[in-house]
Structure 1
């Protein structure tokens, strides 16, 4: 069950300060959560689709993120807050995505998928979160086979239809997690806590944090350590490789790759008592040096690519060698 807390630790502070300055009311907790999840989803979509050409495997994505009012502690309040005409709403739409091109908007209500109505085919589950997970899997399956057909509504237009053909992306989902302040990768997802300090950073620096976690998935680190266990020396190398791949992913998504350096210089001194002093990680100043060493390689790779992309499949060399027992 999803529970919304009163405010984001850092992201809300800026919003409330702005509201006080212009005399407007601060955003509701539901709106704050939606804004953060929207930001994460937009950045993740941009990174995943822009680097698809270099991922070993890809999936088809639409640029559409849904949520389920029924999974919140007060479904009726969620429906009222976002003007939903049913439980399944559009939480985010990535700019320039197929969903965006189809005219889908944030806070539209999804009434049916492939002609199957939500109300009849997918009743509320227990636990409640299982329904939206199942619907996301159904959407992914439809995109993998061709076209996703949706029936939607919004207040001024009660009957809408959209037909979406997906685009390739690296196979990682991006999810905001209640009441957490960390960011992590589990092999299939990048999980960002709603209290993660990076949500308050500029977009390129925030994208750097997301690219770091996405790099773990691309390089197969979670799967590797699930098989062989968390060996300190290897974990340290995996973190270094994720740092080094981070600016490559940023460049291909149209972000300044040097934003990875800015992120580390902002994050490291403030959070140095946390992961940056663990023996599983290099010091934050060392991490900056490793990242900076990649910038010239990225520029060189981009010059030789017809589209100006940086081919990390050929230009990036991981330091972590997967032990034989992981194969």
Structure 2
């Protein structure tokens, strides 16, 4: 099942976090084509999600190796030729995003490079699937992770100027959540292994820390095992409400480790809630947005006490309200 949660977050503890720009996470340019706008949104989502996943890896039970690279497949679009032309790709598999400070970034891989091979195996040999089928891009991501399990994966890619580079990349351990942008959607959800955000989700226009707070909330559902718990136990008995409360409460802990002000969680909630609080925030499975702010801010003193050099071990110090035996 998919647990849908459309925006809930905000935190404080600014004293232990570096200053972060209040500029919108995503600000479209009038000159961008629809393909470029989608790429820009996916880039913001991937880089912000990766920052959270890498910074919290030491405390996640489920982790994976990563090089900080997001690819897309031109064949998955209705007009592959337009995708290749727009981004200057020399093949079908283009680099959609590279996370800041990741192994891919350090190796010099850039957005709109063309991925050619993984450990010497030609990308073109991976079955493309049908049009609008994202299976191949997902299979490539899986193959990179699988190859990187021993700590290193060798990638070959082509730069827009025609240079072909082949280098081994040391992998980085990150929390096992993928971050994906959904075409034509406007919500946000978690499904146990992924954080899914619609391309029209309003939070993309919020500040980066506030957008990161949304991702932290959805990521928290995955980290705390809420999806399999609800699948097994069902949504009744106040269980959904309790999972929402714990996801809200874990948000500021995750933000601190990624260098964001945990007060951004409450900032998101205060900004989102009054505009959208007439339905999901007031239904029987969720508290009101103002009540959620109170829950979030109640965590901040505890976070301040145990934070050391900008790091906080939430796996040791965070106390879930949910009793999974019920």
Q: Normalised by the size of structure 1, how large is the TM-score?
A: 0.89
Q: Quick one: distance in 2 between partners of 1:164 and 1:129?
A: 25
Q: Is the contact between residue 147 and residue 164 of structure 1 (CA under 8 Å) also seen in structure 2?
A: yes
Superposed, 1:277-288 pairs within 5 Å as: 277-288=282-293
Rounded to whole Å, the distance in 2 between the matches of 1:94 and 1:177 is 19
Q: SS of the residue aligned with 1:15? A: coil
CA distance in 2, matches of 1:301, 1:157: 51
> Per-residue deviation at 1:323?
2.4
**Superposition pairs for residues 166-315 of structure 1, below 5 Å?**
166-231=171-236, 233-302=238-307, 305=308, 307-315=309-317
Q: Given the superposition, is the C-alpha separation of residues 322 and 13 from structure 1 closer, same or farther in structure 2, using an over 3 Å criterion?
A: closer
CA offset digits 1:88-119 (Å, max 9, x no partner): 01000001111000000000001111111122
Correspondence 1:136 to 2:141 = yes
Q: Does structure 2 retain, via aligned residues, the 8 Å contact 1:12–1:32? A: no
- The Cα of 1:156 is off from its aligned counterpart by 1.2
CA apart distance, 1:15:
2.7
Contact 2:269-2:289 within 8 A present in 1 as well: yes
Distance 2:167 2:208 in 1: 30
Distance 1:218 1:15 in 2: 32
Instruction: List gaps (5 residues or longer) in structure 1.
Output: 1-10, 20-25
| Separation (CA, whole Å) in 1 of partners of 2:151 and 2:297 | 41
After TM superposition, the score normalised by the length of structure 2 is 0.89
Q: Secondary structure at the match of 2:163?
A: strand
Once residues 284 and 141 of structure 1 are traced to their aligned partners in structure 2, the CA distance between those partners, rounded to angstroms, is: 41
Q: Quick check: 1:15 aligned with 2:28?
A: yes
Tell me which of 115, 121, 131 is aligned to 2:120. Answer: 115
Greater mean alpha carbon deviation, residues 109-118 or residues 125-134: 125-134
Match of 1:126 among 127, 130, 137: 130
How far the C-alpha of 1:308 sits from its partner, in A, is 3.1
Match of 2:99 among 91, 94, 101: 94
Runs of 4+ in 1 over 4 A off after TM superposition: 11-14
Structure 1 position 154, deviation (Å):
1.7
Conservation of the 8 A alpha-carbon contact between 2:66 and 2:174: yes
- Give aligned pairs, total: 302
- Residue 145 of structure 1 aligns with which residue? 150
Which of 299, 305, 318 matches 1:316?
A: 318
197-206 vs 123-132, which deviates more?
123-132
Query: What pairs with 1:45-84 in structure 2 (closer than 5 Å)?
Result: 45-84=50-89
Deviations, residues 142-161 of structure 1 (Å, cap 9, x unaligned): 11133111111122133111
Q: Determine the C-alpha separation between the residues in 1 that align with 2:155 and 2:313.
A: 36
| Structure 2: gaps (5+ residues) | 1-23
**For the Cα contact (< 8 Å) 1:244–1:294, is it kept in 2?**
yes
After TM superposition, the structure 1 = structure 2 runs for residues 22-41 of structure 1, keeping only pairs within 5 Å, are 26-41=31-46
Does the 8 Å CA contact 1:232/1:280 hold for their aligned counterparts?
no
CA offset digits 1:209-263 (Å, max 9, x no partner): 0000000000000111111222250100100100000000000100000000000
- Match in the other structure for 1:6: none
Where 1:217 maps in the other structure, the secondary structure is: helix
With 157-166 and 57-66 compared, the bigger mean Cα shift is at 157-166
Q: Is the 8 A contact 1:62 1:98 kept in 2?
A: yes
Identify which range, 261-270 or 50-59, moves more after superposition.
50-59
- Give the distance between the partners of 1:224 and 1:282, measured in 2 at CA: 20
Q: Which has the higher contact order (CA 8 A, sep 6+)?
A: 2
